[in-house]
Structure 1
């Protein structure tokens, strides 16, 4: 019996070392669980005591009974004569702890201890998973499509956990075969009763930014900064980039030789068009670049405080500058923060009456991947 108990304490020490769960914490949990188990065994809640020796693992339990002349409730009462035989106080109305039968208690204690330890290990595993994935928020993870749920929700296996990719977090129109490997952004991690819930996203602007961080070393090390992404998932993204090194072209770094860096990003997004826009202190140049792939003739910065600008484009460039359903202009406005209006430039150079600022634009220096949308 003592050897078994010693092995039990060794087990607790191993759990403490490997799982980081203090032995005293497990002992307290077991004692609390023993009280509940005894109540269940006795059929009702009566005062009980349960202890476990931290060194030997010996478990003891007692029911606190009232000393009476004549017992009418054997569970909660003990006669003065019986109390005296057990070496307890025989004073009437006194409360004394009566040890639970050792054989019966050992069975209850063993089952209870096992259940408590397993439950605690499950809780710790859930907490550790939560902490691990909480650190991965806003990072890209790779997993395999495990199953489909209601409302076209996709469940993605990430090893020890099944992540959730809701319909609104998917790129419109994309479908995956079971077992298909995908990348996704960890949008949020929450801890629920069932354990950690990991929510993924492939439709967010942050996903594009994170993919560039994976594919472009200069973005990863901070030489090139992705300042902002304006995105219509499945159609087009405009990415504003800036280099902290004058010798590094931010657009060229993101595109790579023959598109080797940008193509994996586009492929992951199912051919979504990506416009890379170089940041410029000259607002007019940046606004012109943001309207890529269209080319602009001239820009009038009407109000710097309200950030309004009027854009002139050649006849064959107006439709491209606006884009299908106004998408190109919408994304350019979102990216730049400037409200722009576009009109066809006159055959002769347009001379503004008295604009606060007018900047002729030779050609935008942005890099555009893909055709006009």
Structure 2
């Protein structure tokens, strides 16, 4: 057994990267428990593994005392001096108590310890490998699904895709190849657990880096992303090189670059807008494809503004169920109120009236009722209005 044990430890260190010393320490602790369990000994015992020959020895540790009350834990000074005259009161003496049949027990225990260490090492290797992919994109194969998750095979591990991380316009079948964003990696008691997503905004960012070399190199920078997974996204970009058009670079010749991303996301619409240091310009760009006449910032709130659009562009600026305005607000970080040109005379008059009225008396319900934020647009339908606008155009 001794040679086999040493060979097994050497192979374990070479193949799995598990230190021989760590396994020996764990083995010695396990053999102490095995000895006490099989031989009913409650005394202080130590197990020593010879790393050169592979032999195992069990020692009972006893304290030198003047009078012995527990023969399993204590030894008299007289008996101690028979072993070695240098022993004194309070010294610890090791007596070898290795049973004749302990080799069989030791072999079983060693096997269990080695298998446990191998499992722990493999878990740590997998965890370290996939934690390096956290916040990155990977390609996997759909394996199966249940009520809670879709299980995606990433090679060495099976990741989970929860319902909130799935795209509503996608149906996943076994053996489908999909690209996923690794959102979180946890080291649990049952082993590493990898959580992936198809709806995370950063999935879009990683796809841009894969498809567009300028984004990967940092020449074109993605500033912000607003995404409603499976339906529509807005991405703001800027260029660190004045000679490079960031929007045109991302769109590519005949739209090939952005089309590759749209195809990967199963037809999710993509609006790429140019970021600007001027908030008014940035907000105007974010509301594309609608035209913006003016952007008026709220003097009492530096993150709120009123956007003026032509009457026939109102429904286009707001979008179906308020989606365009809602995404623009997320992209820019501004609370956006959209108004048609025809209402602006009354609006300016109301603003002037409010400025003349003392602050504690301002309760203009007309303004409150007419001001709609991006969140309010979600419950409003503009489909019929869109048709009338198109006829006017």
The answer, yes or no, to whether TM exceeds 0.5 is yes
Q: Residue 323 of structure 2 aligns with which residue?
A: 327
Distance in 1, matches of 2:272 and 2:93, equals: 81
Q: Which has the higher helix share?
A: 2
Shift of 1:258: 1.6
Q: For this pair of structures, how many residues does the alignment match?
A: 338
Task: Assess if the C-alpha contact under 8 Å between 1:62 and 1:99 holds in 2.
Answer: yes
One of 2, 7, 17 as aligned partner of 1:5 = 2
Task: Assess if the C-alpha contact under 8 Å between 2:230 and 2:266 holds in 1.
Answer: yes
Corresponding residue SS for 1:26: helix
Matched ranges for 1:180-259 at <5 A: 180-259=176-255
Q: Residue 365 of structure 1 aligns with which residue?
A: none
Relative to structure 1, the CA distance from residue 57 to residue 315 in structure 2 (aligned partners, 3 Å threshold; closer, same or farther) is same
Shift of 1:308: 2.4
Q: Residue 342 of structure 1 aligns with which residue?
A: 338
Distance in 2, matches of 1:266 and 1:60, equals: 68
> Whose RCO is larger (CA < 8 A, sep 6+)?
1
Shift of 1:14: 3.5
TM-score, scaled to structure 1: 0.81
Shift of 1:29: 0.7
Q: Residue 36 of structure 2 aligns with which residue?
A: 39
Shift of 1:98: 4.7
Q: Deviation per CA, 1:49-96, whole angstroms, max 9, x where unpaired?
A: 2110122111112456899xxxxx9x9699x9xx99xx979xxxx987
Matched ranges for 1:1-373 at <5 A: 4-43=1-40, 45-62=42-59, 97-102=95-100, 104-151=101-148, 153-303=149-299, 306-346=302-342
Say what the alpha-carbon RMSD is for the aligned residues: 3.3
Task: Assess if the C-alpha contact under 8 Å between 2:152 and 2:158 holds in 1.
Answer: yes
Task: Assess if the C-alpha contact under 8 Å between 1:63 and 1:100 holds in 2.
Answer: no
Relative to structure 1, the CA distance from residue 304 to residue 231 in structure 2 (aligned partners, 3 Å threshold; closer, same or farther) is farther
Shift of 1:250: 1.0
Shift of 1:271: 1.2
Distance in 2, matches of 1:304 and 1:213, equals: 39
Task: Assess if the C-alpha contact under 8 Å between 1:66 and 1:76 holds in 2.
Answer: no
Distance in 1, matches of 2:9 and 2:274, equals: 59
Structure 2: where are the runs of 5+ without partners? 65-69, 85-91, 353-382, 387-393
Corresponding residue SS for 2:283: helix
Structure 1: where are the runs of 5+ without partners? 68-72, 356-371
